[in-house]
Amino acid sequence: MRINNSNNSNNSNNSSPRGTSLENDFRQIIEDERFHDFALKCSDGKIINGCKAILAARSDFFYSYIFTESENKNSCSFNDINSTAMKIILEYLYTSRIKKENLTVNNVIEVYYASIYFELIDLQDYIIKFTKISLIGDEDVVKKLLSECVEKFSLNVDNEISRILIDCVAKNKLEKTKIDSLSLEGLRYLLEKTLDAQIPFATPEFDIWQYTLAKVIRNVTSNETLEKILREKSFSPCASQEIEGIKNRLTPLIGYINLKRMDAKEIDQHVAPFDIYPAKSISDGYRSISLNEDNEDEGLGFIRGVPIFKWKSNRQEQALRFLPYNGSKDGFTVTELTQKSILGNLIFKGRGVYEWKILIEKLSKTVYIGICDINEDLKKNDQDYHGWVLGSDGYVYHKGKWKWYDAKYKEGDIVTVHLDMKKRTCAFSINNNKKPIVSEWNTIPSQIYPIVSLGHGSKLRIEPINSSNSILPLYFYGNMPEIFIR
């Protein structure tokens, strides 16, 4: 039987009569002050009222507080949880749900902190899923959330959200020319957590130094002064108080930037002149470079962790489409509408052996996969390829020369590029069948980009790489595809 009592207040606000939806009924309790007998005093000074019976029944924290621990049974103060987060906590406790519009990137860190405080595991899982979805396509949102996470939890934080944010920020190159939302504390946390970790990282160590230096200077002075400092490679354009402020902010960060991953010219011309690193650190950096050059087994690579790159956009960007493969995050498809060459956005230099795999989804005309000089002019249209590449016809090409390599590939095949920057050699595999080093390629330069050239209708996808082969799996992040290498 359904009873309609017109004298019941708030009934007109229900989307359905009481008794038909438990969730709707309990949402009404949140707003109906007649049920309120417990005050939650939040960190922003606001008071959120709740129902003691529901809070105690749904939360071990409130059960313990209300019935066993406190003399004052009617209120509780929270110094670290604001009213916005508390409202969402109550919504979840009352209904086991969160309305989509209530959880946003602007409050997700606060809510996650509260969910941990109240030990709400299912809510934490929901927030993790929300965060992963929210991070797609916006690098600055990731940096903003990492900064908020460090500020909320401290530099010692280590939870699932912090690990997700570190991975996402690490996979996007830090650019000294960009003003972004990453705080100095967030940057310190990123550098500390990734210093020796074998996770995908997109920024060479020297670029980290330049990004850090620029961010600190901007934190103290103007953009105009920043340009003068970088141009003169000196803090002399600054007032003495500004110089002190810059050095005080840089000092906690430089311990997480490894000079041994830079080359001598970078240290000599762009690091040492600022007199931030101790003399011994500069000396150790030079010594490591010497060992790197003389000994096959000594020295570090130019980038921490596992290098990762994305495909660079170019003047034909409008003719290029990057798509997540079947909506997943473990690969990408690139489709060309005309014959074009596309570069990776990471320069490989120094030493190291690197590999990446590409699946041929669709093949139209000849596809070329390989490497090219960083000074290559992609605007040249006298040939369909650039650099040192393997064609789908089984030949290897460089400039106007080609050679039969016995490595044809077709739709469904996987091509692996094997690049040794120490020996300056390159080889390819087709479906894990590795071919010899291309001996004629004896002019590979000291700095190269990855490259693919493909024609109308062709589709190439970066393949996840088996970690048992010492290469980390690939993920898709943002609007551009990525590839892991070792």
Residue 191 lies inside a defined structural domain of this protein: no
Same domain membership, residue 474 and residue 352: yes
Domain of 53: which CATH number?
3.30.710.10
pLDDT (0 to 100) of residue 92: 94
pLDDT (0 to 100) of residue 458: 87
Same domain membership, residue 437 and residue 329: yes
pLDDT (0 to 100) of residue 486: 30
Same domain membership, residue 248 and residue 313: no
pLDDT (0 to 100) of residue 37: 87
Residue 236 lies inside a defined structural domain of this protein: yes
Same domain membership, residue 113 and residue 250: no
Could you give the CA distance from residue 211 to residue 18 in angstroms, rounded to a whole number?
A: 59
Same domain membership, residue 329 and residue 462: yes
Same domain membership, residue 252 and residue 354: no
DSSP letters, 282-339, are HHHHHHHHHHHHH-TT-S--SSSSEEEEEBPP-TTGGGEEEEEGGG-SS-EEEEESSS
Same domain membership, residue 358 and residue 476: yes
pLDDT (0 to 100) of residue 316: 39
Same domain membership, residue 450 and residue 356: yes
Residue 192 lies inside a defined structural domain of this protein: no
Residue 397 lies inside a defined structural domain of this protein: yes
Q: What six digits make up the tokens of 88?
A: 């969402």
pLDDT (0 to 100) of residue 343: 87
Residue 96 lies inside a defined structural domain of this protein: yes
Same domain membership, residue 466 and residue 317: yes
Same domain membership, residue 122 and residue 65: yes
Query: Considering 267, 294, 321, which residue would you say is the last residue of a domain?
Result: 294
Domain of 368: which CATH number?
2.60.120.920
Q: What is the mean pLDDT of each run of 10 residues along the chain (486 residues)?
A: 38 56 72 84 95 90 82 84 96 91 95 96 94 86 96 95 94 92 97 92 94 96 91 93 95 94 91 93 81 56 82 47 34 53 86 83 92 90 88 95 96 94 94 96 93 86 47 29 33
Whether the CB-CB separation of 481 and 310 falls below 8 Å is answered with yes
Query: Considering 265, 294, 323, which residue would you say is the last residue of a domain?
Result: 294
The answer for residues whose C-beta is within 8 angstroms of residue 474's C-beta and 6 or more apart is: 330, 331, 462, 463, 464, 465, 482, 483, 484
Could you give the CA distance from residue 275 to residue 273 in angstroms, rounded to a whole number?
A: 5
Could you give the CA distance from residue 370 to residue 433 in angstroms, rounded to a whole number?
A: 17
pLDDT (0 to 100) of residue 346: 87
Could you give the CA distance from residue 90 to residue 73 in angstroms, rounded to a whole number?
A: 18
**80 C-beta neighbours (distance < 10 Å), count:** 13
Same domain membership, residue 338 and residue 386: yes
394 phi/psi in degrees, rounded to 5: 95, 0
Residue 144 lies inside a defined structural domain of this protein: no
Q: In the chain, how many domains are there?
A: 3
pLDDT (0 to 100) of residue 29: 75
Residue 259 lies inside a defined structural domain of this protein: yes
Sheet holding 353-362, edge to edge: 320-324, 332-336, 459-462, 353-362, 414-420, 425-430, 433-434
Q: Is residue 375 classed exposed, middle or buried when 0-12, 13-18 and 19+ CB atoms within 10 A define those classes? A: exposed
> What's the domain range around 253?
204-294
Query: Considering 294, 328, 356, which residue would you say is the last residue of a domain?
Result: 294
Residue 58 lies inside a defined structural domain of this protein: yes
pLDDT (0 to 100) of residue 295: 55
DSSP letters, 43-96, are TTS-EEEE-HHHHHHH-HHHHHIIIII-S-TTEEE-SS--HHHHHHHHHHHHHS
Whether the CB-CB separation of 239 and 262 falls below 8 Å is answered with no
Same domain membership, residue 21 and residue 87: yes
pLDDT (0 to 100) of residue 313: 57
Rounded to two decimals, what is the model's pTM? 0.80
